[in-house]
Structure 1
Amino acid sequence: MRKLNLRLKHLAQEHQAVMHFISAVRGANPESEADLPEVVRRVRKVFVSDLDPHFVEEERYALPMLREAGRDDLADKVFAQHEAMRAMEKALDKPTTEMLVKFVHLLEQHVEFEENEVWDVLDVELEAQARAAATAG
């Protein structure tokens, strides 16, 4: 059972919304390249309003905790994925279907990586911090 603090629980819950977004983008299936700009416009809007702020919050709260736990490898990978998606979003100025598919695929891989590896490490770190606080006080 996850013991994540409130802020990290919120981030984990946002992953569910991201997975729904990924499904919606995949379901949009532009019928032609002429439809692509509208799909990309929606993706970029969600990126600016939801995804990038989510990344910033993870960088502010989750990544330092990973580093404290001695997991620079995970923190570096999360940050590298964030930066790759930021670069891909900028590249969508001149979109192709292939670029959009790559962006959505990386976003999905990122969420799965965090859910299957990162949050488990954070659970252990938070438990250790709670035990240390209980024995100190």
Structure 2
Amino acid sequence: MRKLSLRLKHLAQEHQAVMHFVSAVRSASPESEADIPEIARRVRQVFVSDLEPHFVEEERYALPMLREAGYGALADEVFAQHEQMRAMERALDHPSTEMLVEFVHMLEKHVELEENEVWDVLDAELEKQANAKAETP
């Protein structure tokens, strides 16, 4: 069972919403290329309202914890993915189907990295810290 702090649990729970968003974008079936700008506009809207604040919170809280635990390379990888998705979001000013597919794929890959690696590392680190506190007389 994860021992994540309340803040980290909230960030992890937001991943569920992100995966619903990924599914929604994947299931959007434009009738023509003329529909792509509207889908991209909606993706950008969600990025600004939900994803960017999520990234900022991870960068302020989770990534420093990773670095302190000796996982600087993993923190750097997460940050690099954030930056890549920020660039992809800006590129959606002039969208294409391929760009939307690439963005959604990157977002899914990012959530998988965090769920399968980052949170496990942080969970183990928090458990180690809790055990060290418990052992301190």
| TM value normalised by structure 2 | 0.97
Q: Unpaired runs of 5+ in structure 1? A: none
Partner of 2:89: 89
Matched, 1:58 2:91: no
AA aligned to 1:135 is E
Root mean square deviation, CA, Å: 0.9
Q: Which runs of 4+ in 1 moved over 3 A?
A: none
Matched, 1:7 2:22: no
Question: 1 CA distance for matches of 2:104 and 2:4?
Answer: 27
Matched, 1:33 2:41: no
Matched, 1:67 2:67: yes
AA aligned to 1:40 is A
Question: 2 CA distance for matches of 1:39 and 1:78?
Answer: 26
Deviation at 1:30, TM superposition (A): 1.4
AA aligned to 2:86 is R
Question: 1 CA distance for matches of 2:99 and 2:49?
Answer: 20
Q: Unpaired runs of 5+ in structure 2? A: none
| TM value normalised by structure 1 | 0.97
Partner of 1:103: 103
Percent identical residues:
80
